[in-house]
Amino acid sequence: MTERTFVMLKPSALERGLVGEIVGRFERKGLKLVTVKTVAMTRSQAEELYSVHRGKHFFDDLVSRINGRKVVVMVLEGRSAVSVVRRLIGATDPVNAEPGTIRGDLGLDLTDNLVHASDSEESFRRECSIFFPAYELG
């Protein structure tokens, strides 16, 4: 089934010049870029993006480490896009991510683990609406 997913490239992906490498992996897999832009993350955007983690021991660190920094946000489309993108990204902790995945090949830091992607259709709708007004989604 063709579906859409939300992806955010975290600050280290921009700072290390890995945007083309990561987006290229999505494109080579066959996913289409619906829309993409760079934003400086605000505290309220970060708190909303990570609201499911509120109360966990890593929440404050997660928000403060991304607040005010540049990220790339995008919407990708393709067959089973939500699960395909999660598999391309790999396990949350790059130490455990399989070689061949984005986190497995390119990262080591758990909090700044290069990429965030929606884990369901419901989180796609919520996360996407934090950064994109409907008219930007075609």
List residues binding ligand CMP (CB under 6 A).
53, 58, 62, 92, 110-111, 113, 116
Tell me whether residue 2 or residue 116 sits nearer to ligand CMP (CB atom): 116
CB of 64 to ligand CMP, least distance (A): 12
Compute the least distance from the CB of residue 9 to ligand CMP, in Å: 11
Please report how close the Cβ of residue 43 comes to ligand CMP at its closest, in angstroms.
Answer: 16
Report, in Å, the least distance between residue 1 CB and ligand CMP.
Answer: 23
57 a catalytic residue: no
HSE (CB half, 13 Å, CA atoms) of 18?
A: 20
In terms of CB distance, is 118 or 135 closer to ligand CMP?
118
Structure tokens at 133: 């007004």
Cβ nearer to ligand CMP, comparing 127 with 132: 127
User: Residue 77 or 109: which CB sits closer to ligand CMP?
Assistant: 109
Please tell me the distance from the alpha carbon of residue 21 to that of residue 13, in angstroms, as a whole number.
9
Question: One of 116, 118, 128, 131 is an active-site residue; which one?
Answer: 116
Enumerate the active-site residues.
116
